[in-house]
Amino acid sequence: MARAALGLGSARALALLAVASVALLPLVSSDDGYGHCEGVVRGWADSSTGREKDGDKLSLKDLLFFLHIPRTGGRTYFHCFLKKLYTNAQECPRSYDKLRFDPSHPDCKLVVSHDDYSLTSKLPRERTSVVTILRNPVDRVFSTYEFSVEVAARFLVHKNLTSAKLMSTRLLTKSRAVSTLDIWPWKYLVPWMREDLFARRDARGGDKVPSSKKVNAYDVEDMVMPLHQYINDPVAHEIIHNGATFQITGLTNNSYFDGAHEVRHCVRQHPDLGRIVLEVAKNRLDQMLYVGLTEDHEESARLFAHMVGAQVLSQSGTLNLDLKEDLRTENDSHPSMVEPEDEETNEHLNSTHGWQSTEALNSTSDEQGKGNMTVGKLMEAYETCIAKLRKSQSNRRKISLKKVEEANFSKEEHLMLKAQQSGVGQHRLLAEQKGWTEIICSDGTCSPWMVVMLGLGITAIIALVSFAVTTRRRTSKLKV
C-alpha cells in the first residue's frame, strides 16, 4: 500500500515538476551556439544519470538528506518530524548555510538544507537517502515573493539602510546563529528586496501610509516592489524561474557543480534543451526515498511518518525520545539565537554546536512525557507541533509587515489574484476564438452576403473531405 501511495505521489510530483520546468521558459529558441549548448547539456545529463544506481529505493540508508525546496512547507517537516526523530547530536551541524561538517562522521545522520542536489557529491552517496517536497510552481512564486517582503520589512525598524546593515552585521558577529542572509536563496532575494523597500520609503518621505482605501497587496508600488516587477526582474529569472527543477538537478547558482552556470545558461538560451534537464529531474525524483506534495499536506505527512519515520525509529532501536513541544521552535529559534526583536536572524536555524553532549536535546516537558516513540505518537506530536508553528508564523508575519501595512498578504487575496489571472487567460482565448467572426461581422451586425459566402465555403470544404475519404477507401479495397 505504501508503495502504491508513493507511486501516486511521485506521479503527481512529476506532473508538478513538468509544469514548473515548462511554464516559465520562453517559447522560442535562438540558433546561436545551439550545437555547443546541446553538447554541454547532454554531456552533463549523461554524467548525472550515470551516477545513479539501482537499489532498494524505499529503504532508509545511514544518512538522510532532506533537500528543502524553499516555500514548500519544509520547515514543518524539519521542526515537527525530523527534530523529533533525530537528536541534536545526530543532526549534521550548520548544514543549512553551506557544508560545514564532516559527512563521514558516524554520528552525522541528518542533513537538512536548501543546498541543491549537487550537495550529494560531498556526501557518501551509497549511504545517503534523499527526500524532498514539491509545490505548485505558481503558488511557490507567490510565497517566495511574500517571504522576501516579510523578511526584508523587518529591517525597516532602522532609520536607514546603512544602519540596518551595520546592526545585522554586529548581531551576527556576536552570535553563533545562522541568519536568513546566510542561506540560499534568501541571501540574494532578501537584500535585493531590502534595498528596494528603503528606497521606496525614502521616496515617499518616511513610514507614512499613503491611503486607507482597498488596494491590491501585490501591487502597492509606492511601498513595495510589485509582484509583476519582482518576477520579471533578472534576479528572479536567475533564482526563482524553474527553481525547483534546477534545485533537484543541482544546477542552481548555489551549486557545487562548476559547470552549473553554463548548463543553466544554455537551457535558458535554447529552451527545448530544458527537456533534457527535466528528464534528469524526473529520474532524481524516482530515485528518492520520499517525495511529498505541499497541496496534499495531510496525506504526504502520513506517508512520511509511515515510510521515513518508521524506518528511522526502527534503525534507532525504537529510540527513547521525548515527545516534546519544543516551544523554541515556534520562532524557528535555537538556543544560540539572538533575541526575538532582531527577528531578521530568526530563520532556518540548524545545530551550531556539532557533536556535543545530549543536554542540547531541547527536552521540555509536556503532557505526554517520555516513552517509546511510535508512528502513531509521532503523528500526534506532529499535529500539535504544526498547529503551534502555523500560529507563530502568522503572528510573526503580522509583526514583520507593520511598516508596510498595505502589503498585508492574505490567502483570500492570493486566490483572488490567481483567479483574475486565470480570467485574463480565458478572455484572451475567447478573443482568439471570436477573431474569425470579427472578419465578417462588425459592430454586432453581419452582412447577409458574407454569411452566404461563409456557408458555401464550409460546404465546399466538407465535400472535398468526403471525396478524399471515399477515394482512399476505394483504393484500399483495390489493394486488398
Query: Which residues are known catalytic residues?
Result: 125, 146
- ∠ CA 462-468-471, nearest 5°, is 140
Sign of the Cα pseudo-torsion (308, 313, 315, 321, in order): positive
What DSSP state is assigned to residue 153? Answer: H
Grid cell at residue 452: 452566404
Smallest CA-to-CA distance from 113 within 159, 50, 152, 64 is with 64
Helices (H), 98-233: 137-153, 161-174, 186-204, 227-232
User: What span, in angstroms and rounded, lies between the C-alpha atoms of 110 and 120?
Assistant: 13
Q: Say which residues have a Cβ less than 8 Å from residue 57's Cβ, sequence separation at least 6.
A: 286, 287, 288, 289
- Strand 370-372 to 320-322 pairing: antiparallel
Cell of 48: 548525472
∠ CA 199-203-205 to the nearest 5 degrees? Answer: 115
* Kind of pairing between the strands at 370-372 and 441-442: unpaired
- Cα 428 from Cα 438, distance rounded (Å): 15
Burial environment of residue 87 by CB neighbours within 10 A (0 to 12, 13 to 18, 19 or more): buried
- Phi/psi zone of residue 29: left (φ > 0), alpha (ψ -120 to 50 degrees), beta? beta
- The letter for the amino acid at 37 is C
DSSP of 289-315, one letter per residue? Answer: SEEEESTTHHHHHHHHIIIIIHHHHHH
| HEC secondary structure over 411-465 | HHHHHHHHHHHHHHHHHHHHHHHHHHHHHHEECCEECHHHHHHHHHHHHHHHHHH
Q: Which residues pair with 66 in a beta bridge?
A: 112, 131
Eight-class DSSP state of 218: G
Measured distance CA(73)–CA(292) in Å, rounded: 10
From the list 66, 5, 1, 13, the residue with the least C-alpha distance to 299 is 5
Which residues 6+ apart lie within 8 Å of 24 measured at CB? Answer: 137, 241, 242
